[in-house]
Amino acid sequence: MTYDNIAARVDAFRAEMKQAGLQAVILPRTDPHLSEYISDHWHIVRYLSGFSGSAATMVITTSEALVWTDSRYFLQCAAQIEGTGIRLMKEGLPDTPSVTDYLISTLGKGDTVGLNGLLMSIDATTDLADSLNAAGINLRVDFDPIDKIWPERPAMPADKIFVHDEKYSGETSSSRIARTLAETAAAGADSYFTAALDEIAWLLNIRSNDVHCSPVAASFLYLSPKGSTLFVDNAKLTPEVETHLEKAGVATLPYSSLISRLPEIASNDTTVLLSTTSASGAIRSLLEGRSIVAASPVAMLKAVKNDIQIANVRTSHIRDGVAMVRSLMEIEKAIDSGNRLTEIDVAEILERNRRKGDLFYDLSFDSICGFGPNGAIVHYTATPESNTEIHPGNLLLIDSGANYLDGTTDITRTIAVGTPSDDMRHDFTLVMKGHIAIATAIFPEGTRGAQLDAMARMPLWKEGKSYLHGTGHGVGFFLNCHEGPQSIRLNDTLAPLTPGMLTSNEPGVYLAGRYGIRCENLVLTIPFEETEFGRFYAFETITLCPFDRTLFDTSIMTPEEISWVNDYHARVREALTPSLTPDEQAWLEKATRPIA
């Protein structure tokens, strides 16, 4: 993709703006389901800017084009839009205005901003409209000219849906629908509408392959005690799926009929509950006067895994740990033998070893394999242009995961290639001190991730270092790698950490132009004890794979931290050894020897 391509596309878009009488347009990088990961059909921001990251908002005015993204993508976005004339806006930094503030400072009274209202949540649409209107600026939510300027736009995905067996999910669709409708009634509504693909997949025990690395089906779902409706393309259904849906009391209508049919279907109920995060402003407009807005009744139900899911999660992580050990051993041997190994080679090794495992479905995200300076790009994915050869003298950051029928994995390891420098060992150990602080945290019932986040950052903060991404995100069950409502981050998502939740623990530090370090395991919230002061919870580390022993600087670790590493490595060795060959067992035994 060249600068000329991008410039021509932006110019064509501006021509449509001019014809519609718009002075600016907001283009959220999402789809009508407000997804983080989207099908090719909805990669509008990538088409217009060249930026391929998973978090972005593009703004096009009559004279400027800008892309807002978060710290994970500052370096990547800068590289991908270089030479296009598009300006990078580093979201979250004090000097960077929000999209709304930028528009208010740039536009004049009487100007109009355009938006496809299906691509913005209810809360975001309301806040945007209120702020713009207060400044005398109008908002139109029906502007969608993309088909006119993107002649080869990919079609909507058409993969078949399949049923996710109850032996993995642990609960019937009928039960999940009933529990959701009970929560809906408790919120004061009769019915619930959701566009969130992970919610629909969980509720109906269905999966598909409509989004890269996310086993979901493009659809909308309306739940009602009087009968539920799934808006989905008929070509995606099989006789087995149709029978499964019928058994759960779910009828189907075409995906494209949502706008025309939803008001009619919802007229049978007095009040429809819309989630602030899984319904768009455009949907609320369709149901104006008969909807209430609240937190999703599904989010907490889905986040708390049942006993069958938890047992499956533990099993899938043993299988994933075996794949990781085989991959790390293969990578190490290749480098030690002097073979030329690149970042893309590493990603292929990881995928090949995972695909050999039972119940493997797909990767849970494109593997992040960044060597040296590329490791400092938080969500880096190697391309043929950026693909770097790995050689002794720097760090290799590997962030990868898989979707198995019985669980979703996400793990990051930082590997020293050759002998690490003192600075590398020091920085790695600071990150691990934060990781261990989260892994060993004990906290009272009701604690939220934002109340723990500083524990992970404190060792870095004490030396004037930090990282700008969250410390932890929720993880789905054979679903999205990133799911809410819980998280561990500086900004509060208000969801308490509850037994059964699976969350990542991934502090890091990134030195631009030098190296990046991140250490990630998944942790399960579990009961710890109950005292006169109430219930207390803890984390059980689920991920099973050794950390690089050569990167620990034990001189700055406490005895308790050293013991945690050694105990964790002993557990990894015990869990994985029965599934390994003698050579692999010998490699793992060496990789998990005590660090002090």
Task: Give the span between the Cα atoms of 440 and 319, in whole angstroms.
Answer: 24
Given a contact cutoff of 8 angstroms between Cβ atoms, the answer to whether 62 and 14 are in contact is yes
Return the SS3 of 225: coil
Task: Give the span between the Cα atoms of 408 and 387, in whole angstroms.
Answer: 27
Burial class (CB in 10 A: 0-12, 13-18, 19+), 67: buried
Structural tokens at position 73: 């993508």
Task: Give the span between the Cα atoms of 480 and 120, in whole angstroms.
Answer: 20
What is the pLDDT, as a whole number, of residue 92? 87
Backbone angles phi, psi at 163, to 5 degrees: -85, 130
- Sign of the Cα pseudo-torsion (38, 41, 45, 49, in order): positive
Return the SS3 of 113: strand
- 321-to-185, 287, 325, 519 alpha-carbon distances in Å: 42, 48, 6, 15
What is the pLDDT, as a whole number, of residue 378? 86
Task: Give the span between the Cα atoms of 392 and 335, in whole angstroms.
Answer: 8
b/e 572-592 (16+ beta carbons within 10 angstroms → b): bbeebeebbeeebbebbeebb
Task: Give the span between the Cα atoms of 524 and 364, in whole angstroms.
Answer: 18
Task: Give the span between the Cα atoms of 435 and 539, in whole angstroms.
Answer: 12
Task: Give the span between the Cα atoms of 394 and 514, in whole angstroms.
Answer: 8
Task: Give the span between the Cα atoms of 109 and 132, in whole angstroms.
Answer: 9
b/e 228-259 (16+ beta carbons within 10 angstroms → b): bbbbbbeebbeeebeebbeebbbebbebeebe
Given a contact cutoff of 8 angstroms between Cβ atoms, the answer to whether 216 and 203 are in contact is no
Structural tokens at position 531: 């005292």
Q: How many CA atoms lie within 13 A of 140 on its CB side?
A: 15
Structural tokens at position 383: 């391309």
Task: Give the span between the Cα atoms of 257 and 234, in whole angstroms.
Answer: 12
What is the pLDDT, as a whole number, of residue 4? 64
At residue 533, what is the residue type? F
- Sign of the Cα pseudo-torsion (27, 30, 34, 36, in order): negative
What is the pLDDT, as a whole number, of residue 1? 45
Q: Please state, as a whole number, how many other Cβ atoms lie within 10 Å of the Cβ of residue 188.
A: 10
- Please tell me whether the peptide bond between 215 and the residue prior to it is cis, using omega within 30 degrees of 0: no
Q: How far is CA 537 from the centre of its chain?
A: 25
One pLDDT digit (tens) per residue for the chain, 596 residues: 455 689 999 999 999 999 999 999 999 999 999 998 899 999 999 999 999 988 899 999 999 999 999 887 888 899 899 999 999 999 989 999 999 999 999 999 999 999 999 999 999 999 999 999 999 999 999 999 999 999 999 999 989 999 999 999 999 999 999 999 999 999 999 999 999 999 999 999 999 999 999 999 999 999 999 999 999 999 999 999 999 999 999 999 999 999 999 999 999 888 999 998 789 999 998 897 789 999 999 999 999 999 999 999 999 999 999 999 999 999 999 999 988 899 999 999 999 999 999 999 999 999 999 999 999 988 888 889 899 999 999 999 999 999 999 999 999 999 999 999 999 999 999 999 999 999 999 999 999 999 999 999 999 999 999 998 999 999 999 999 999 899 999 999 899 999 999 999 999 999 999 999 999 999 999 999 999 999 999 999 999 999 999 999 999 999 999 999 999 999 999 999 999 999 999 999 999 999 98
Secondary-structure percent of the chain, ordered helix, strand, coil, rounded to 5 = 40, 25, 35
b/e 351-389 (16+ beta carbons within 10 angstroms → b): bebbeebebbbbbbbbbbbbbbbbbbbbbbbbeeeeebe
